[in-house]
Structure 1
Amino acid sequence: MTTYPTASTTHNRSLLALLKPYAYAIGLGLFMLSAFRLGYIAWQWDRVAASQGLGFLLLQGLRFDVLILSALLIIPLSLSPLINQCKALYSFWPGLLKFYLCAALLWLLFMELATPNFLLQFDARPNILFVEYLKYPKEVLAMLWGGFKTCFIITAIAMPLAAITLWRVLPAAPIVSLTWPKALALSLVLFCLLVLAVRSSVGHRPANPSVVAFSTDLMVNDIALNSSYSLLYAIYESARDEKGSLAYGDMAVDKMLAIVKAEMRVPASDFIVGDIPTLHNQAALNTQAKPKNIVIILEESLGAEFVGSLGGKHLTPQLDALAEQGLWFENLYATGTRSVRGIEAVITGFTPTSARSVVKLSQSQRGFFSFAEVLRRKGYDTSFIYGGEAHFDNMKRFFMNNGFSKIIEQKDYSDPQFVGSWGVSDEDLFSKADKLFQSYGDKPFFSLVFSSSNHTPFDFPDNRIALYDKEKATENNAVKYADYSLGQFFKQAKQSRYWDNTLFLVVADHNSRVRGANLVPIEYFHIPGLIMGGGVQPSVYSKVSSQIDLFPTLLSMAGIDAEFPAIGRDITDPKYAGDSGRAMMQYNKTQAYREGDQVVVFERNKPAVQYSYKKGKYTKSAVQNKTLIDKALAHALFGPYSYQQGNYRLPD
């Protein structure tokens, strides 16, 4: 006897058919994201095992995978029942939906394929840096092809194959007949369920990366996410950062400013009354008849781990020798992990924040304080000398609008000896700088010279150095070449007419790659710093210091009295003799404030925690020092406050 389906079973089958393409997409997406996560866990097993959180990683990983898939499907899935009722859409909806589902899954795949190299470079899943690099396709494509060719080729092959496979596997969306009331009800139910899945929480706050912050190893925490989510959340958070909404705590403005100004150790009489709270006069301790020229040589990615004089690999014999000829910083720390953060600290003295560097933020593109503007107002010629294209990272715009009168970039080199992915070689760079300095005669000048040879894919001329590694294009060899070029420059400079009346600062912008299992891996923020030139006596500064201290120190040593709002310290001033020194470091969205061997760490949406930091190891302090934590919080809040208020500037 034949059995015919009832209206009820036909309706249920229709609903299942309606959901079938989405079920396939969700299943494929979960499988793909889980497979990549398991691969990352296996790859980083030592660090995952040390965190003792494998089960947590897998469970939270599934949670965030469901979250991102729900976010991608919320619009088409919620509207599907209603679209099925619209005859005008019958003809192209199945194809359009299939195309969208393929594109969404390919996006997830692309982000995971891009993750290994990003993780190698930044010890994190893709974040806002991923987007910022995409703004410079020429440099990035050259870097990828030169340094990550295998990954580039794998991705180029995998993506088309995956597209073909997905198009064949994913079922087409059927046209299902529903009554309008049922279609509307089903759309509302699906929408509410998907919103709940995207929130992934019934609490006051939706799920965010802080819910997976179970370990002090930030990279391990990131494994619990997926790369599409980590990137999209970083973009969302970056938009909030510029508005100053992401902070590490609350403190009254008056109290915050009082603490910051007290730590500057500036006499009350030296502060200039007005609407710029930290504007003050700094009198030079090294008085002389004619103030000196100042040249800052910003060395790309030169961490202490490569510098023999700082206990690293013996890759910098030239810098090690120069260290004995000037003021050498033994415990100097970068404020961040990118060049624009180093520029921010060295050129503006601005404290690090959870937002992007002020080199890129909109409100700092005109009238923002820079030391170049201080010197320009004193009659100095101010220049930025770079071997690549100065538009990268918005440097040219920021510099031209904030005190620099001359920009020299790749197009200005008429016959360079060598051109790599990031521009001309360091030898060409320094040769150009020397010629410019020679041309000034008696006119005072300030220049920022930014090297680029020590950058992936590590292009540099042949036959200059004895290779440290057998393969030429490696980080160690690039460091040796950068050091060789630096030594060649100083041989020239010492023979020049400008030598006796010029102070040189050699400092790294940041380390090559900051990584590690600590909340803020301080050892990878350790960088070299050296002030030398005519009349500078050899000495060593062993206390903790920050990049923001360098220019106030340079001004004092150069015999330049100045007024400015920067809160860095002139480390040659005896009033700081009793201090242990301090440094601020930004690591993704985590910040550290260090005084001596005490470190206060701020994580987003978590209370501050004080640690003892000795020999590269953190130990949570038994007693949390509220005074130190308040001091750290005040400095963390100062940057966002002064940026938003527009009072980190010189008077008109």
Structure 2
Amino acid sequence: MPQLHYAQLRYLSIIVLSWLAVFFLTRCILLASHLADANVSLLQLAGVYGIGLIYDLGFLLYAILPLALYLFVCPASLWRRRWHQRLLIGLVGISLFAMLFTAVAEWLFWDEFGVRFNFIAVDYLVYSEEVINNILESYPIYPLIALLAVIATGTSVALHKSLEAAFNAPLLSRVHAFTSLAILFLLTGLSGLSIGQDTPRGLGGNTYQRELASNGPFQFFAAFRNNELDYQQFYTTLPEQAVASLLRDEVSEPNARFMGSDPQDIRRLIDNPGQPQPLNVVLVTIESLSAKYLGSFGDTRGLTPNLDELRKSSLTFSNFYATGTRTDRGLEAITLSIPPTPGRSIVKRIGRESGYGSLGQQFNALGYDSVFIYGGRGYFDNMNAFFGGNGYRIVDQSSVAESDMAFKNAWGMSDEDIYQQTIKVADADHAQGKPFFLQLMTTSNHRPYTYPEGRIDIPSGDGREGAVKYTDYAIGQFLQQAREKPWFNQTVFVFVADHTAGSAGQEDLPVANYHIPLFIYAPALIEPREFTEVASQIDLAPTLLGLLNVDYSSTFFGRNVLRKDRAPGRALIGNYQHLGLFDGTDLAILSPRRGMRRHDDALGLSHEISTSTSDSLMQRDIAYYQGASHAFQKRLIAWHPTSLPDERLSKR
């Protein structure tokens, strides 16, 4: 068994012990800053530091693996060279600076949120410009960085003798090197299996004790895989019975029967009046199509002639809003009809993204062929796992022959190509006498804004305007071809955006920047008109099923907004941290650290004021997000086909 008197192991031990010292001091400082809140006994203190050491070592096993691999295969002739040793000394200094910088970042994060790194820290990378500017304005960051550099350099100098001793120690033999490497890989694997984001951190005790026992860098990287924020921990809550009552008032429809034993379970049987209509459905989710780009919404550049013409023949929703700022949020809302719970969308919560009562499952239960058709490769944003696990079969770029794609870029095949694949699937299902539900996700209206040449009068790659105009062109071509098909008159076409082209603004949730178009087009079936009340992406699924007069078992947080006996309109909007409810005039916002505020006249002057749980708009806001987070955690939105009604709820 190799001993630490070998050169490579001594060098690694210096780095590991230095990092452990930084972790220990960080934990001490964080504990001292909230000693009263942590309320630790001596036994609990031992648990905090003991479990904390496990987390620290768990992170370090991953962190040192690349370096260890290099050191163990480094030839002796290179190891003994002076320039190489100086390089390794410099690496110690850089690693110390990195860990000190992380410790300071942890302190700042802890000071603001009272927790170690989590998805909020990951989110800071998404909004890096705003975060960096905020840090520069809030802290003397440059002098602080200089101080950390001095400390790291001074510590490296202080370790000089230990490092020289390591360089002069005997080297591992090849057998010992491979043995050490095998042991390190084994320990790393065992660490990955036994140490998670939540365990063994589950000490019991209070939140501060659990957070102190974790490791900040470990939590940061774990947040990439499990990007969630615990609603109960970070946001304002109401009593469960109050949430249950408010939420059921929000989602209830006439003759609906709630089924769950959990007070917050909104699973219910929906009775849509009229004879069921087994119509085909083609639901097109368009990349980044803000309502403001359409001429029918006021744009004067003539970018969307086909969509502007389509609006005249469609059921148009002129006050419709996306739930979030990313494609995965739009797909989540449209497919599952759930508000944007804090953290990462359900689509991207790997390992927890399947088995839900999706729109695809609803159509499957009616005998449809439910297909998700994506212009790119569905591993992006975890789409294949999400749709494949929630009732859809998948057609994406990887399943399309190269000869069937006229154009592609980094994001995938052009919109023309995805529509050609859609027509192929529809033709095949129609030939078999099977109704189809085809849910598309386009890619062309996205940087680098490239598309086939010669289609429009704006050169490919010239910017967003060209991409919007090409998107519109492809829709026009698709509908022109579809009108020649025998299945056209029995098909409902839905055109909606996943999100807008840009949601940033001076406010956390600028409502106007969530405004998207929604057109429902079936000229032989649905009378053209304009629906002007506020509605949300989560309302699309129940509204669509309502148009088909389908009775079903629903876990949807949205509602059929076309019913005459509907509740007042509202839109749910969010951006990972901030969770909003817009009622058409005012906006209530929930934020981490139990923040509550509202923007009166949100589309106008947008006057911000603090508020409380006595505010009825804030109560509705809390009910939606607390209820949705609870439903996700308890799997109250799971798909249970046996809960579907055995017969029509009302006699026809």
Say whether the 8 Å CA contact 2:452–2:460 is kept in structure 1: no
Matches within 5 A, 1:378-457: 378-415=366-403, 416-441=405-430, 442-457=433-448
Gapped regions of structure 2 (runs ≥ 5): 1-17, 19-55, 61-79, 102-118, 128-148, 163-206, 643-652
1:646 equivalent in structure 2: 635
SS in 2 for 1:364: coil
1:300 and 2:287 equivalent? Answer: yes
Matches within 5 A, 1:249-328: 249-267=236-254, 270-274=257-261, 277-285=265-273, 287-288=275-276, 290-312=277-299, 314=301, 315-328=303-316
CA positional deviation for 1:246:
4.6
1:592 and 2:580 equivalent? Answer: yes
| Amino acid across the alignment from 1:465 | I
2:599 equivalent in structure 1: 611
CA positional deviation for 1:607:
3.0
Gapped regions of structure 1 (runs ≥ 5): 1-21, 23-70, 76-89, 110-124, 134-165, 179-203, 209-228
Alignment deviations for residues 453-511 of structure 1 (CA, whole Å, 9 cap, x no partner): 111111211111112xx784311111110111011101111221111111111000001
Q: Summarize the Cα distance change of 1:495–1:345 in structure 2 as closer, same or farther, 3 Å threshold.
A: same
Distance 2:604 2:337 in 1: 26
| Amino acid across the alignment from 1:391 | Y
Alignment deviations for residues 558-597 of structure 1 (CA, whole Å, 9 cap, x no partner): 2322111102111110112x62x10111123111111120
Query: 235-244 vs 331-340, which deviates more?
Result: 235-244
1:49 equivalent in structure 2: none
Distance 2:498 2:597 in 1: 27
| Amino acid across the alignment from 2:423 | D
Say whether the 8 Å CA contact 2:597–2:611 is kept in structure 1: no
| Amino acid across the alignment from 1:400 | G
| Amino acid across the alignment from 2:358 | S
Aligned residue among 85, 91, 99 for 2:91: 99
1:482 and 2:471 equivalent? Answer: yes
CA positional deviation for 1:634:
0.9
Q: Summarize the Cα distance change of 1:253–1:406 in structure 2 as closer, same or farther, 3 Å threshold.
A: same
| Amino acid across the alignment from 1:457 | P
Distance 1:338 1:231 in 2: 26
Q: Summarize the Cα distance change of 1:313–1:281 in structure 2 as closer, same or farther, 3 Å threshold.
A: farther
Distance 2:594 2:229 in 1: 20
Distance 2:610 2:90 in 1: 58
Percent identical across equivalent pairs?
A: 27
Q: Summarize the Cα distance change of 1:129–1:407 in structure 2 as closer, same or farther, 3 Å threshold.
A: farther
CA positional deviation for 1:239:
4.8
* Count of residues paired in the alignment: 469
1:128 equivalent in structure 2: 122
Q: Summarize the Cα distance change of 1:444–1:599 in structure 2 as closer, same or farther, 3 Å threshold.
A: same
1:464 equivalent in structure 2: 455
Aligned residue among 322, 338, 344 for 1:356: 344
CA positional deviation for 1:104:
7.0
| Amino acid across the alignment from 1:542 | T
Say whether the 8 Å CA contact 1:94–1:173 is kept in structure 2: no
Query: 526-535 vs 622-631, which deviates more?
Result: 622-631
TM-score (norm 2): 0.65
TM-score (norm 1): 0.65
Distance 1:500 1:377 in 2: 23
| Amino acid across the alignment from 2:561 | I
CA positional deviation for 1:354:
1.1
1:495 equivalent in structure 2: 484
1:558 and 2:566 equivalent? Answer: no
Say whether the 8 Å CA contact 1:294–1:558 is kept in structure 2: no
CA positional deviation for 1:311:
2.5
2:22 equivalent in structure 1: none
Q: Summarize the Cα distance change of 1:101–1:454 in structure 2 as closer, same or farther, 3 Å threshold.
A: farther
Q: Over the residues paired in the alignment, what is the CA RMSD in angstroms?
A: 3.8
1:574 equivalent in structure 2: 564
Say whether the 8 Å CA contact 2:384–2:394 is kept in structure 1: no
1:28 equivalent in structure 2: none
Distance 1:299 1:251 in 2: 37
| Amino acid across the alignment from 1:627 | S
Matches within 5 A, 1:147-166: none
Alignment deviations for residues 305-354 of structure 1 (CA, whole Å, 9 cap, x no partner): 21222224542111111011111111111000010100000011011111
Say whether the 8 Å CA contact 2:341–2:576 is kept in structure 1: no
Distance 1:374 1:269 in 2: 17
Alignment deviations for residues 79-119 of structure 1 (CA, whole Å, 9 cap, x no partner): xxxxxxxxxxx99997545214336769999xxxxxxxxxx
CA positional deviation for 1:446:
0.7
Matches within 5 A, 1:199-218: none
CA positional deviation for 1:612:
1.1
Q: Summarize the Cα distance change of 1:265–1:130 in structure 2 as closer, same or farther, 3 Å threshold.
A: same
| Amino acid across the alignment from 1:524 | N
Distance 1:586 1:230 in 2: 26
Say whether the 8 Å CA contact 1:240–1:246 is kept in structure 2: no
CA positional deviation for 1:601:
1.1
Alignment deviations for residues 44-96 of structure 1 (CA, whole Å, 9 cap, x no partner): xxxxxxxxxxxxxxxxxxxxxxxxxxx9xxx9xxxxxxxxxxxxxx9999754
Q: Summarize the Cα distance change of 1:479–1:230 in structure 2 as closer, same or farther, 3 Å threshold.
A: farther
